[in-house]
């Protein structure tokens, strides 16, 4: 894995966390997400890049 991939994954992780944290609890619940699940979801998303 090259440095570009690592940077892209890190950026994707950070952006996902930022966007999900910006949602209120009701919006997260509508998506079936608990606030504590955000880091895991972001990691899973970033690993697909």
User: pTM above 0.85?
Assistant: yes
Angle, helices 38-47 vs 3-22, to 10°: value is 150
The residue to which tokens 């690993």 are assigned: 47
Contacts for 32 with CB less than 8 Å, ≥ 6 apart? none
Asked if 42 and 20 touch (Cβ cutoff 8 Å), the reply is yes
pLDDT digits (tens, 9 = 90+) for 36-49: 999 999 999 999 99
Asked if 47 and 9 touch (Cβ cutoff 8 Å), the reply is yes
Domain ranges within the chain, ordered by starting residue: 3-47
pLDDT digits (tens, 9 = 90+) for 1-49: 899 999 999 999 999 999 999 999 999 999 999 999 999 999 999 999 9
């Amino acid at each position: 894995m090259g440095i570009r991939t690592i940077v892209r994954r890190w950026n994707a992780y950070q952006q996902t966390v930022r966007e999900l944290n910006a949602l209120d609890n009701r919006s997260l619940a509508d998506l079936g997400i608990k606030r504590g699940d955000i880091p895991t979801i972001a990691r899973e998303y970033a690993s697909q890049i």
